[in-house]
Amino acid sequence: MDRRIWLGFILAAMVVYVGGCKEAGTMSIKTEPFGQTPDGQAVDLVTMTNPSGIEARIITYGGIIVSMKVPNRDGKLGDVVLGFDKLDGYTKESPYFGAIIGRYGNRIGAGKFTLDGVEYKLAVNNGPNHLHGGIKGFDKVVWKIEQAKAEGDEAILKLSYLSKDGEEGYPGNLKCTVTYTLTADNELKLHYEATTDKPTVLNLTNHSYWNLAGQGTGDILGHELMLNADRYTPVDEGLIPTGELKSVKDSPMDFTESKAIGSRIKDVDIGGYDHNFVLNGETGQMKLCAKVYEPKSGRVMEIRTTEPGVQFYTGNFLDGTLTGKGGKVYQKHYAFCLETQHFPDSPNKPDFPSVVLRPGEKYDITTVHKFSAK
């Protein structure tokens, strides 16, 4: 064969090889089946990956983040959220692992509120109170994929759900979308939007259980936490806020400077942290919420949000009865949650930032998780 033809083959092969290498370094997204709900609804799994190898996997059931793989200081990837390998774990026994929470994240006292002179009664599913949207909240429904694409420096998944008037006792037909965006800058952004045709209350959040050392590897008491919050909302015996905004100074609630989560956890009288912190800064403006560092792996997670508060929870009710991904058994304090939110029981606390959404208004909030290592 002519030398020029051979040379042409070699050059073509080099172009294919180099092109393939470039392609491997771009954003990617793929969708595949993840089983069916007990009532026969198909559930999809969407995997988003960025050039650093960070991988977010989300299912349409509950909008659940089923895994989040991020590198440690040596570049080794590890899954840093608790969860299950199969769908039935989430449908049968999940304590809200990784899910969208709605219509109302956190608690509403006595399972009722009054809006424009009308009293609305909700499910009582947490002692005498309403928790995380009721019996079948947004964590237990199948969301619709509106968009799944990778372009430029982002991979984007947009999910939607229509919550009908009267669902779980809430008024108004509520159209919701949650958009997950994985960026080349190692950020996972969650953007929540909603509109309603009747006045209603709304407080959406994500309930991921984090362990930056790796899911199922041990407790999170050695993680170092900074919360950008000078105040918190004290609670009664049912974990309902009293209405007071109390200073964290000289108390176990003070994380204004970074310190180990377990440094004073024994001084918290409910067996660990499960408290709403009042973030410094304006509601609706993007601001620093928290920064968490895990010394052994070197992983760092920084959270920014437009929300006024964050619920800090230390997995107090995990007790070894749940077996999660890879056969890992989840014990007490094996994870922490940082649920950006409006305050618990806000519908019954007129002095708290309002959670009322009216026709013609748009619910629009954003929370960003940025990952790094040191």
**8 A C-beta contact, residue 209 and residue 99:** no
Provide the pLDDT for residue 25: 66
Which positions ≥6 away from 278 have C-beta within 8 Å?
Answer: 229, 230, 231, 232, 233, 245, 308, 309, 343
Put residue 271 in one of left, alpha, beta given phi > 0 → left and psi -120 to 50 → alpha: left
User: Would you say 332 and 316 are in contact if contact means Cβ atoms under 8 Å apart?
Assistant: yes
- Residue 252, burial from CB neighbour count under 10 angstroms (0-12, 13-18, 19+): middle
CATH number at 29-373: 2.70.98.10
Predicted TM-score (pTM) of this structure: 0.93
What is residue 270's predicted lDDT score, i.e. its pLDDT? Answer: 86
Query: 11: helix, coil or strand?
Result: helix
DSSP state string for 195-217: EESS-EE-B-EE---B-TT-TTS
189: its two tokens:
């952004």
Q: Give which of 38, 77, 36 is closest to 57, Cα–Cα.
A: 77
Structure tokens at 306: 């437009």
- Residue that the structure tokens 């172009």 belong to: 15
Q: What is the DSSP string of 252-312?
A: TT--SS-EEGGGSGGGSTTSS-EEEEE-SS-TTS-EEEEEEE-TTT-EEEEEEESSSEEEE
Catalytic annotation, residues: 207, 339
| Tens place of pLDDT per residue across the chain (374 aa) | 444 444 444 334 333 333 333 334 689 999 999 999 999 999 999 999 999 999 999 999 999 999 999 999 999 999 999 999 999 999 998 999 999 999 999 999 999 999 999 999 999 999 999 999 999 999 999 999 999 999 999 999 999 999 999 999 999 999 999 999 999 999 999 999 999 999 999 999 999 999 999 999 999 999 999 999 999 999 998 899 999 999 999 999 999 999 999 999 999 988 899 999 999 999 999 999 999 999 999 999 999 999 999 999 999 999 999 999 999 999 999 999 999 999 999 999 999 999 999 999 999 999 999 999 99
State whether the Cα torsion 237-242-245-247 is positive or negative: negative
Task: Give the CB-side neighbour count of residue 53, counting CA atoms within 13 A.
Answer: 10
